Amino acid sequence: MDKTTTHASHPDIVLRLKRAEGHLRSTIAMIEAGRNCVELAQQLHAIEKAITNAKKALIHDHVDHCLEAQAGANPELAKGALAEFKEISKYL
């Protein structure tokens, strides 16, 4: 398992997370300004969804590219890929 791998989807995931980070900063400012709780809950929900979608994109990319390539035709590598899938799937 290569811990320093970058995939084609990573720049998109970084953009998603940066967007969520901007929304989080904005929401913090809204809280400090005493904004309406319904508006705050709506913003927090949007932040949560953005982070969840980034996480799903990362995990799906890992499954599609890393685990699939790792499994190949070798049974021992397939076992390792399956173990890694079990490990990463707990974050879904």
Superfamily of domain 10-89: Metal-sensitive repressor, helix protomer (1.20.58.1000)
Q: Express each pLDDT in 18-55 by its tens digit.
A: 999 999 999 999 999 999 999 999 999 999 999 999 99
Q: Express each pLDDT in 55-82 by its tens digit.
A: 988 888 877 776 666 666 677 777 777 7
* 51 CB-contact burial (10 Å; exposed 0-12 / middle 13-18 / buried 19+): middle
Q: Measured between alpha carbons, how far is 67 from 80 in angstroms, rounded to an integer?
A: 9
pTM here is 0.70
Q: Measured between alpha carbons, how far is 32 from 27 in angstroms, rounded to an integer?
A: 9
Domain ranges of the chain: 10-89
